[in-house]
Structure 1
Amino acid sequence: MSNPTQPTTGRKLTLVVLGLAAMITTMLCAFALPSLHSGPRRVPVGVVGPEETTKALRQSADGDAWDVRLYPTTAALQTAVKDRDIAGGLAVTAHDVDVYTATAGGPSATSALTALGDSVAAQHTTRATIHDLVPFTKDDPRGAGLTAALLPMIFGGIFPVLILGSVFPGHRGLRTRITGALLFSLVAGAAIAAVLQFATHSVDGNYWLTALGLILGTAALSTTLLGLHALLGMAGFALGGALMMLLGNPLSGLATGPHWLPTGWAALGQLLPPGASGSLLRSNAFFDGSGAGLPALTLTVWVGIGVAFALLADRRGMRPATTRAVSAAL
C-alpha cells in the first residue's frame, strides 16, 4: 500500500530545491551583473575655469559617465565637494589643472576623476595637481574598515531575530522581541561606531553622530526582519534575509560609491537598508552629516515598516486569544 504522504513530501522537496537554486542564481546575478557593468554613471563633477575651456570640457565630458556642473570660483567648487553636492571637480587655468576629490565619498569616482584631470592636463601640456579634500583616515587610507562595517550590520539584523525568537517565542514574546531588537540596535550601533573610531581608526568624525547613524541602520535591518518573521514566519524571515544579504549587500555601493553602479541598480541599492546605512555612515563619519537626510529618512521608513508588520502580527495573534476567552466565558 502506497504512503499518501509521499506525493506531498516530493512536492515540498521539489519546491525547496527549486527555491534554493533560484536563491543561488539571484545571488550570482546580484553580485556579478553590477560588477560587470560598473563604471562612472552620471557622476556629478564641478568645473571652474575660463569660459571657453569649461564649455569645451563640458561638451566633451558631459554624458553617461559625468554630470558636469559649472562653478564660478574654486572656493565654491570646494564647498560643493565637502557638502557632497558633487563627487569632485577640476579647476582649469592657462597653466594649471587642479583636481579636487573626496576619496571617502567614493574611491572609484576619485580614480576616474583623477584620470580625467590627467587627460585635461595633457591637453594643456601641463600636469594635474590632486587635492583630496575628504580623504580616508591615515590609519585606514583605503577605507577597509568602512567597507567591513556593512556585514556586521546585516548580521546584526539577522541574529537578534533568531536568538530573541528562540528565547521569547510565540505571540506572548513578540513585544519583548521588538523591545529587544531596538535595545540591541542601540548597543550594537554604539559599539560598531566605537570600534571604527577608536580601535581601527577608520573614521574620525563626531563619534555620537556616527553612532546615531549606525543605530538607525541596525534598527532598520533588525526591525524589518523581525516584522517579516512575526507576520509571515520563517518564510518572511528568509525573504527578508535574502533581500538584505543577496541584493542589499552588493548593491550598497559602500566600497565604490553609489555612482559606480548602473543607474537602476544604484537606485535600488540606496532604497534598501544596507545601502542607506552605508550612505548615512559615510555622510556622518566624513562629511559632518552633509547628505545624510535622504538615507536617514529611508532607514526611518524601514523601521516604521518593520514595527508596523510586528504590530499587525501582534493584533492578528490577539484575535484567537480573544475568541478563546469569549468561548470559555460562554
Structure 2
Amino acid sequence: MKSSLVQRALGIAVGAALLQLLMITAFAWPSARIAPRDVPIVVTGPGAAAVADRLEREQPGAFSVRTRRDEAAARAALADRDAYGAIVTTPSGPKVLTASAASPMVAQQLGLMAQKLAAAQGGASAAPAAPVQDVVAADADDPRGAGFGALVLPLVMSGIAAAALLTLAVPSIAARTVGAVVFAVLGGLGSAGIAQGWLSLLPGSYLAVAGVMALAILAVSGTVVGLSAALGRAGIGVGALLLLLLGNPLSAATSAPELLPQPWGDLGQLLPPGAAVSLLRATAFFDGAGSAGPLAVLAAWVAAGAALLVVGGLRGRAAKQTVAEREPVMA
C-alpha cells in the first residue's frame, strides 16, 4: 500500500471527523441552549406595572415588556407581530393571550406563566391557572408546529442539491440560471401544494404561500449556483456550509429567534432559512404583518446570487479570451 494513499485516507478521515463534530455542534447547540431572551410581550390593565416588575425580578432579561392601553391594543400587538403574548390584568385576575402561530414554544411558556400568575394572586400554588386564549393559533392539524418546523430543511437541502447538479451537469452559466429559476417556481408550487393540500400545515392563500417558498428556494439555489460560478466547484461547499450548517439550525423554525443564544438568533434571520420561516409565518398566519424584513432579506440573497453569476460569467469570458489570445495564429 502506497504511503501517499494512506496519508490521503488519513486526511479524509480526520476532515470527516471534524465535519461531523461541526455538524453536531451546529444542529444540537442551539436546541440545547433554548431560553427566553428579551421575548417581546405586552401587559395592560390596572396591575400592568406590577406584573412587569415581577417578570423582570423573577426572570431578568427573559422578556421585553411593553405596556398597551387596553386589551384591544394588546390583541392588535399580537396580530401585528409586535409581541408573542400579552398579560391582561383585571380585578378578577390576570388573563394571558398567546399567538401560537408565531411560536408554539413561546405560547407554551406563556401558558406556564399563567399558572404562576394565578398562584401568586391566589396566594397558593393550588390556585387555578389564569385563563389562556390563543389569539392567533397555529394550524389545527399542526398545533405544536412540528410539521411547520420540518418544512425548512427539505427546502434548503433540495435547493443545494439542485444547484450542485446544475453546476456539475450544465456548463453554461446562463442555462444554470434558467434551471435555478424554473426549479424554484416548480418547487414552490409543489411544496405549497403538499404543505397545504395533503399535510394541511399552513393556512392562507395557496399562491402567496407558493410564492414565498419559491423565493426561499431561489435564494438558496441561486446563492449556491452563483458561488459555484464565481468560485468554481468549491462554491458548492461554501454554500452548503453557510446555508445548511449555519442557516438551518439558526432558522428558529421550531422555536423563535428570541429563544436562541444571541447574536445567533438575530444572525439566523439574516440567512435564507430564517428569513423564509419568518416570511412563511407572516404570510400564512398574520395576513402579511411583519413580512417586510424577511422579504427584503430573501430578495437581497437572490440579488447576491445574480451578482455572483455575473461575476462568474465575466470570469469565464475573460478566461476564454486569454486562451484565444495564446493560440497561435493559423497561416
Q: Tell me, yes or no, whether TM beats 0.5.
A: yes
1:288 aligns with 287
1:118 corresponds, among 97, 115, 118, to 115
SS at match of 2:269: helix
Query: How far apart, in 2, do the equivalents of 1:95 and 1:174 lie?
Result: 67
1:137 aligns with 139
SS at match of 2:66: strand
Once the two structures are TM-superposed, the CA of residue 267 in structure 1 deviates from its matched residue by 1.3
Once the two structures are TM-superposed, the CA of residue 167 in structure 1 deviates from its matched residue by 3.3
Q: Relative to 1, partners in 2 of residues 1:301 and 1:12: Cα closer, same or farther, differing over 3 Å?
A: farther
Query: How far apart, in 2, do the equivalents of 1:122 and 1:24 lie?
Result: 46
Does 2:94 align with 1:97? yes
2:24 corresponds, among 23, 28, 31, to 28
Count of residue pairs brought into register by the alignment: 321
The answer as to whether partners of 2:167 and 2:233 remain within 8 angstroms in 1 is no
The answer as to whether partners of 2:164 and 2:236 remain within 8 angstroms in 1 is no
Query: How far apart, in 2, do the equivalents of 1:257 and 1:206 lie?
Result: 24
SS at match of 1:295: helix
Query: How far apart, in 2, do the equivalents of 1:262 and 1:311 lie?
Result: 36
1:148 corresponds, among 139, 146, 150, to 150
Does 2:194 align with 1:195? yes
How much identity, in percent, do the aligned residues show? 36
Does 2:176 align with 1:177? yes
The answer as to whether partners of 2:167 and 2:228 remain within 8 angstroms in 1 is no
The answer as to whether partners of 1:147 and 1:254 remain within 8 angstroms in 2 is yes
1:75 corresponds, among 68, 72, 76, to 72
1:107 aligns with 104
Query: How far apart, in 2, do the equivalents of 1:176 and 1:200 lie?
Result: 34
Q: Judge which range, 73-82 or 151-160, deviates more.
A: 151-160
2:125 aligns with none
The answer as to whether partners of 1:94 and 1:124 remain within 8 angstroms in 2 is no
Instruction: Encode CA deviations 1:184-233: one digit per residue, 9 max, x unaligned.
Output: 10111121112111111111112222122111111100011111122222
List runs of 5+ in structure 2 lacking aligned partners.
Answer: 123-127
Query: How far apart, in 1, do the equivalents of 2:66 and 2:157 lie?
Result: 40
Instruction: Encode CA deviations 1:61-120: one digit per residue, 9 max, x unaligned.
Output: 133111111000100000000110000111011113211101110111111111112211
2:40 aligns with 44
SS at match of 1:131: strand
SS at match of 1:103: coil
Once the two structures are TM-superposed, the CA of residue 38 in structure 1 deviates from its matched residue by 1.0
SS at match of 2:76: helix
Query: How far apart, in 2, do the equivalents of 1:155 and 1:180 lie?
Result: 16
- Alignment TM-score, normalising by the size of structure 2: 0.91
SS at match of 1:46: strand
| Matched AA of 1:141 | P
Does 2:58 align with 1:59? no
1:242 aligns with 241
SS at match of 1:90: strand
Once the two structures are TM-superposed, the CA of residue 159 in structure 1 deviates from its matched residue by 1.9
The answer as to whether partners of 1:88 and 1:110 remain within 8 angstroms in 2 is yes
RMSD (Å), alpha carbons = 2.0
Query: How far apart, in 1, do the equivalents of 2:90 and 2:7 lie?
Result: 71
Once the two structures are TM-superposed, the CA of residue 329 in structure 1 deviates from its matched residue by 8.3
Does 2:166 align with 1:164? yes
Query: How far apart, in 2, do the equivalents of 1:294 and 1:127 lie?
Result: 36
| Matched AA of 2:276 | S
Query: How far apart, in 2, do the equivalents of 1:261 and 1:115 lie?
Result: 19
Q: Relative to 1, partners in 2 of residues 1:148 and 1:32: Cα closer, same or farther, differing over 3 Å?
A: closer
SS at match of 2:263: helix
Q: Relative to 1, partners in 2 of residues 1:308 and 1:11: Cα closer, same or farther, differing over 3 Å?
A: farther
SS at match of 2:92: coil
Once the two structures are TM-superposed, the CA of residue 10 in structure 1 deviates from its matched residue by 6.4
Query: How far apart, in 2, do the equivalents of 1:137 and 1:320 lie?
Result: 53
| Matched AA of 1:237 | I
Once the two structures are TM-superposed, the CA of residue 13 in structure 1 deviates from its matched residue by 4.8
Once the two structures are TM-superposed, the CA of residue 15 in structure 1 deviates from its matched residue by 4.7
The answer as to whether partners of 2:79 and 2:136 remain within 8 angstroms in 1 is yes
1:228 aligns with 227
